[in-house]
Amino acid sequence: MIILASDHAGYLLKEELKKFFNKENIIAIDVGCYSREAGDDYPDFAKAGNAKVLEDSRNVGIYICGTGNGMVISANRNPKIRAALCTSTQVAALARGHNDANVLILPGRYMKPRKAIKIVKVFLTTDFEGGRHARRIKKL
Ligand code: RB5
């Protein structure tokens, strides 16, 4: 299952991703926020997303704030979460292949929907490589 979370600064990009998932018949759960009005706080949505992601080891989160930094810092406070801020398809592939990231973070104010969708596709279709990377993850 895909878990979506954003603050107000990530709301519009999250809505674009929801349209894409709907078109592809992919189920995505949105844990908020539900408007682009300022006044909410990204840690609240990272926590809500983390709780859902950790319900099942097959779950993957996609969290969005303005820069991505608030979300990646917040999400990674949970030791079972490996959240990666990805601004290219190459970094997204390595975040999965090498870091076994279970949450993709995107910068809503600095990324166009078309590029975000390309990154999401790569993130969702790349497998963890294991081997030496598994050894490193065990040391986290
Ligand atoms: C909200 O204005 C903004 O600070 C937040 O979305 C994020 O970019 C923080 O890292």
* pLDDT tens column, 58-106: 999 999 999 999 999 999 999 999 999 999 999 999 999 999 999 999 9
Catalytic residue from among 47, 82, 98, 121: 98
Confidence band, pLDDT 50/70/90 cuts, at residue 135: very high
Active site residue 8: no
Q: Among the CATH numbers 3.40.1400.10, 3.40.50.150, 3.30.360.10, 3.40.630.30, which is that of 2-138?
A: 3.40.1400.10
Contacts by 37-45, CB closer than 8 A, 24 or more apart: 37/8, 38/8, 38/9, 39/8, 40/7, 40/8, 41/7, 42/7, 42/9, 42/10, 42/70, 42/71, 42/74, 43/70, 43/74, 45/5, 45/6, 45/7, 45/71
**Structural domain spans, the chain:** 2-138
Distance in Å, CA 46 to ligand 1 centroid = 12
120 lines ligand 1 (CB under 6 A): no
* 86-107 as b/e: b if 16+ CB within 10 A: bbebeebbbbbbbbbbbbbbbb
Q: Whose Cα sits closest to atom 5 in ligand 1?
A: 66
Contact indicator for 123, 86 with CB cutoff of 8 Å: yes
CA of 130 to the centre of ligand 1 (A): 33
Cβ(66) to ligand 1 under 6 A? yes
Question: Residue 131's pLDDT is what?
Answer: 98
Task: For tokens 């390309």, name the residue.
Answer: 118
The confidence score (pLDDT) of residue 96 equals 98
